[in-house]
Structure 1
Amino acid sequence: MNIIGRLTRDAQIRTTPQDKQVVNFSVAINDSYKNKQGERVEQSTYLDCSYWISTSVAKVLKKGTLVELTGRVSTRAWMGRDGEPKAGLNFHTSQIKLHGGSKKEQSVQADTTPEEQVIAGETTTDNLPF
């Protein structure tokens, strides 16, 4: 499944009790449609995302960055601090592509190694097979 959205916060690296590192971030997906009355309705969906492949991508995943993600969706449920049941969507990311961004973000991306740019879905090499 592919989704396109903007990061709602900077990515964070977390270490699990099994000493595995994961990059966690949140994405907002905006959609709009016209209802039966012909009024435009704006709708936002928020997904908590995880990326287990490489933590170096966290350097370029900053709030407001437009990203295209490939992966799978899962649901989760938990009991809130107030005792009320809660539910959310998780997106287990397998590929990240950066789209656009500010000059500041582009300069951060330019400082990454070619290996890190491939991880983030961006390549700068011209070694194309065709």
Structure 2
Amino acid sequence: MLNRVILIGRLTKDPELRYTPAGVAVTQFTLAVDRPFTSQGGEREADFIPVVTWRQLAETCANYLRKGRLTAVEGRIQVRNYENNEGKRVYVTEVIADNVRFLESNREGGNSNSGGYREEAPYGGGNGGNNSSNNRSSNGNSSSRDNHDPFSDDGKPIDISDDDLPF
């Protein structure tokens, strides 16, 4: 059996962060997901899907997600029920998310990297692997003269022994 869902949509309002009596963080938000077709009037309809996150993911979502942000959610569908004040049984269907990806940067500050959390950072390197170019430019001219550019002989044959090849 399989219960897996992947959604991409926009938040309808800021997430609500709460804590259980045991101190476990829980965040709830609603994701507006466009339907893949238009109505007879030519308008695009959307489904409004409630999402719940727990623990560290809940705190991260509360800190970095805001109304209108494009977000991907991966998790499972859960149906729960309870009896309301009038004695009627109420059924709630929601997505319990175990992975949330922020698909847009924070739009408020104008800075594309504001918000402090970037899910799509390359391989955890932080700066994208640009250490050598940053070091040369930040250390002044003498450093750039000392470092030999391995691509300066672009297009010319390279003298290398067969023993030095990894294959």
Distance in 2 separating the partners of 1:74 and 1:57 = 20
Q: Partner letter of residue 80 of structure 2?
A: R
Is 2:61 aligned against 1:57?
Answer: yes
Output aligned runs, 1:86-97, within 5 Å: 86-97=90-101
Aligned length: 119
Q: CA RMSD in A?
A: 2.9
With the length of structure 2 as denominator, give the TM-score of the two structures. 0.57
Larger radius of gyration: 2
With the length of structure 1 as denominator, give the TM-score of the two structures. 0.70
User: Which structure 1 residue ranges, 5 or more long, are not aligned?
Assistant: none
Query: Which protein is richer in strand relative to its size?
Result: 1
Structure 1 residue corresponding to 2:30, chosen from 13, 26, 40: 26
Distance in 1 separating the partners of 2:55 and 2:43 = 37
C-alpha displacement at 1:40, in angstroms?
A: 4.9
Q: Partner letter of residue 51 of structure 1?
A: T
Distance in 2 separating the partners of 1:110 and 1:31 = 31
* Structure 2 residue matching 1:104: 3-state secondary structure: coil
Identity value in percent: 19
Deviations 1:24-54 (A, max 9, x none): 211121204368xx76574432222122242
C-alpha displacement at 1:11, in angstroms?
A: 0.8
C-alpha displacement at 1:108, in angstroms?
A: 9.0
Distance in 1 separating the partners of 2:23 and 2:35 = 38
Distance in 2 separating the partners of 1:106 and 1:80 = 45
Q: Which runs of 4+ in 1 moved over 3 A?
A: 38-43, 78-86, 105-109
* Structure 2 residue matching 1:103: 3-state secondary structure: coil
For residue 68 of structure 1, what is the aligned residue in structure 2?
72
**Which structure is richer in relative contact order (CA contacts within 8 A, separation 6 or more)?**
1
Deviations 1:70-121 (A, max 9, x none): 1111112334455554333211111111123662166596242xxxx26xx3
User: Which structure 2 residue ranges, 5 or more long, are not aligned?
Assistant: 130-167
Structure 2 residue corresponding to 1:123, chosen from 93, 114, 121: 121
Distance in 1 separating the partners of 2:115 and 2:37 = 40
* Structure 2 residue matching 1:110: 3-state secondary structure: coil
* Structure 2 residue matching 1:26: 3-state secondary structure: strand
